[in-house]
Structure 1
Amino acid sequence: MSETPPREPEQQPQAPLIEHLIELRSRLVKAVVLILAIFAALYAFSNDIYSFVADPLMALLPAGSQMIATEVASPFLAPFKLTLFAALFIAVPFVLYQAWAFVAPGLYRHEKALAFPLLASSILLFYAGVAFAYFVVFPLLFDFFVHTGPENVAVMTDINQYLNFVLKLFFAFGAAFEIPIATFLMIWTGATSVESLSKKRPYVIVGCFVIGMMMTPPDVVSQSLLAIPMWLLFEVGILFGRLVRRRRHDPEADT
């Protein structure tokens, strides 16, 4: 009777890790493929996409004004980069879903019940922040810039510098609109309490204006347009934190 050869002990703990790495690679590949597919579909409209993003500024420039390109490759690279960011922007829900599908098996049932709504809310809030920047902040901000300069100075913005400027603001406002989610999670996990955050409200307001000063151009208008929504969103997070605390302490909440 032949004996079965003993298994190598080091191979057993490696198998689950390898499976996780294979699954992670598969989900990353899916996300990258979708981003590239969206980019390929949008590339033919890259100049139109750039014109759409530049419209808030162009609508306020004097008649006959136009943007300029100070670098040789800028007319190609600026729309190319914007289209790539647009593809990533559109694919964000799918990318986050792949991340969710990867970590969800390791979560408890009550964690899944809370994590998915928070994930969906964070996506919607990020989109809302970008839309707020484009439709509300840009017209006010560019109107302020265009009409406060000397009369003998012609406004001719470089297309690459303008793109970097608007992408920075898109990211700043998109991230700022995630404050309710961050505040809610801090309260829900017990990292802090509603009372503690309420007492720190003056410091939070000052911090919002400091972040607004660092993330936006050095003017009061753009700083306030970012800082005030951040403060209001912080208050929204506290409000939802109060509701969660009330539900935890209400014995009839789960009945």
Structure 2
Amino acid sequence: MKNASGGPERDELEGTEQPFVSHLIELRDRLIRACIAVGVCFAALSFWPGPAGLYDLLAAPLVANMPHGGTLIATSVISPFLVPLKITLMAAFLLALPVVLYQAWAFVAPGLYLHEKKLVLPLVVSSTVLFFLGIAFCYFFVFKQVFRFIQGFAPTSVSAMPDIEAYLSFVLTMFIAFGAAFEVPVVVVVLARLGMVSIEKLRAFRSYFIVLAFIIAAVLTPPDVVSQLALAVPMVLLYEVGIWAAQIFIRHTQPPDEEPPAA
């Protein structure tokens, strides 16, 4: 392949090759930096607000909607110690996630072409932001509505006292469900950019996706209308955002056109 001046075109990655051992050393160093970032965040969160404070913050939406001043209980001897510790570790990883993703990006970026960097970096950043938005939407809006809806059906003769481990499992399931659901635009962009599906087919699939979104919401969320609508409606809206974003990505991340071979 020749460049504009008639000479052979130089590959962007020419001269960037490294021995396999060098790649392993770099991978080790970046994994260590990511682990250090998680450890620093864990130490900071252990100091303030502390594991107990983090669990109180996580349980606040449920406790606020429990009648008669109800509280959570621990049915295992070591649950009051292990459960807050797990939450602190989870929060530390989420807090250090930008550093972890940067280390992953810095490791793979030298082996990518310019048009691939234009595709990968925005997808990494947007997927991270969307995942955090899904968790925030679940915590600040969905939990409040769901717990209020559920407690409204509880008989007055019943005192709700959920177990802290069961509540942690429920919270993690909901966080993962909403975080993954908010990744719909990224999935749509990747499928369209790789040529696996066209923009026209994505638009034609819109009505089927609405049905699919409600099915997914019915499977992943508790059996109540509030949580199912809270998951399905954002998925449908984000699907439309993904179609719009896919058109922009396809336009700006195309590889450079190759010249046809000379006769």
Scaled to the shorter chain, the TM-score interval is 0.7 to 0.9
Runs of 4+ with >4 A deviation: 244-249
Aligned to 2:73: 68
Q: Give the superposition deviation at 1:151.
A: 2.2
Match of 2:45 in 1: 42
Q: Which residue of 2 aligns with 1:157?
A: 162
Give 5+ residue unaligned stretches, structure 1.
1-14, 250-255
Distance 1:162 1:148, change over 3 A: same
Find the residue that maps to 2:68 and give its secondary structure: coil
Does the alignment pair 1:22 with 2:25?
Answer: yes
Inter-partner Cα distance in structure 2 for 1:64 and 1:220 = 26
C-alpha deviations, 1:151-202, integer Å up to 9, x for none? 2111111111111111111111111111111111211221111111111122
Q: Please state how far the C-alpha of 1:244 moved relative to its aligned partner.
A: 4.3
Match of 2:203 in 1: 198
Correspondence 1:242 to 2:235: no
**Residues 115 and 253 in structure 2, CA contact (< 8 A), matched pair in contact too:** no
Distance in 2, matches of 1:199 and 1:16, equals 48
Q: RMSD value over aligned CA atoms? A: 1.8
Mapping for residues 50-129 of structure 1, pairs under 5 Å: 50-129=55-134
Give the residue type in structure 2 aligned to 1:219. D
The CA distance in 2 between the partners of 1:245 and 1:73, in whole Å, is 53
Q: What percentage of residue pairs aligned between the two structures are identical?
A: 50
Secondary structure of the corresponding residue to residue 152 of structure 1: coil
TM-score (norm 2): 0.84
**CA 1:27–1:244 in structure 2 vs 1: closer, same or farther (change >3 Å)?**
closer
Change (3 A) 1:229 1:84: same
Cα shift at 1:221 = 2.0
2:180 maps to a residue whose letter is A
Residues 133 and 182 in structure 2, CA contact (< 8 A), matched pair in contact too: yes
- Once the two structures are TM-superposed, the CA of residue 248 in structure 1 deviates from its matched residue by 8.6
Q: Which residue of structure 2 lines up, in the alignment, with residue 207 of structure 1?
A: 212
Greater relative CO, 1 or 2 (CA 8 Å, sep 6+): 2
Q: Which residue is 2:260 aligned to?
A: none
- TM-score between both structures, scaled by the size of structure 1: 0.87
Q: Report SS of the residue matched to 1:24.
A: helix
Q: Does 1:148 align with 2:153?
A: yes
Name the SS of the counterpart of 1:63 in structure 2: helix
Shift of 1:247: 6.5
Amino acid at match of 1:26: D
Report the CA distance between 1:207 and its aligned residue.
1.6
Q: Could you tell which deviates more after superposition, 240-249 or 50-59?
A: 240-249
What's the CA shift for 1:138?
A: 0.6
More helix by share: 1
Alpha-carbon distance, 1:82 to partner: 0.4
